[in-house]
Amino acid sequence: MAAVFVMIPFAYLLGTFPSALLVARTRGIDITTSGSGNPGASNVSRVLGRKLGILVFVLDGLKGALSVAAGFIAFEYAGALALACAAVVGHVFPITRKFKGGKGVATAGGSMLALYPIVSVVLLAIWLTTVKLTKKASLASLAITIGLPIGLLIVGRPAAEVLTTVGLAAFVIWRHWPNLKRLVKGDELSMKSR
């Protein structure tokens, strides 16, 4: 199991892959200075449309899913979860961009889809429903972030996994703190459907 620590830096570096920046650049846009300025799928969707937002979501999700796959091959659940967390941290705090990254939702989502597909499908349905009803991607992201450890508790996953996802959820919620303040004030940006 100690060998998982050797792989953590690789999962972190995979997490730093700048999907949103590269996709937006193909349209001549610096996504860090457009919309909310967040280099993530929601902001790309808001600025450049739903199709490119979905592309970024998939690419960011793959960073987590590939990390989980590597963890499963070598270490099963514990190692896979550790590498998933490393990929999320890489996405949020990329050393390649002065530690200024996204919010971590898509990368965490890809990780959890690979680890817990049934729970993740339910959470995806909650995310889509919340976005459709409220037009607020941040509110939908917060809903599924809180729902993840609850879902694992319901399906009977081990306590260590539930507690790890509580920590991951707290990390993602912390990254959404500005969004939470804007939601309370009623100033949060809405998703555009195009």
Residue 194 falls inside a structural domain: no
**What is the residue-averaged pLDDT of the chain?**
91
Residue 113 falls inside a structural domain: yes
> Among 19, 189, 194, 193, which residue's Cα sits nearest to residue 94?
19
Q: CA angle, 102 as apex, 145 and 168 as ends, to 5°? A: 35
Residue 190 falls inside a structural domain: no
**Span 95-112, pLDDT tens digits:** 999 999 999 999 999 999
Could you tell me how far CA 51 lies from the centroid of its own chain? Answer: 18
User: Total structural domains in the chain?
Assistant: 1
Which residues form the domain of 74?
4-185
| Mean pLDDT on 7-27 | 95
pLDDT of residue 193: 47
Is residue 137 very low, low, confident or very high in pLDDT (cuts 50, 70, 90)?
confident
Residue 93 falls inside a structural domain: yes
Residue 143 falls inside a structural domain: yes
Q: How big is the chain by its Cα radius of gyration, in Å?
A: 16
Residue 193 falls inside a structural domain: no
Is residue 194 very low, low, confident or very high in pLDDT (cuts 50, 70, 90)?
very low
pLDDT of residue 177: 87
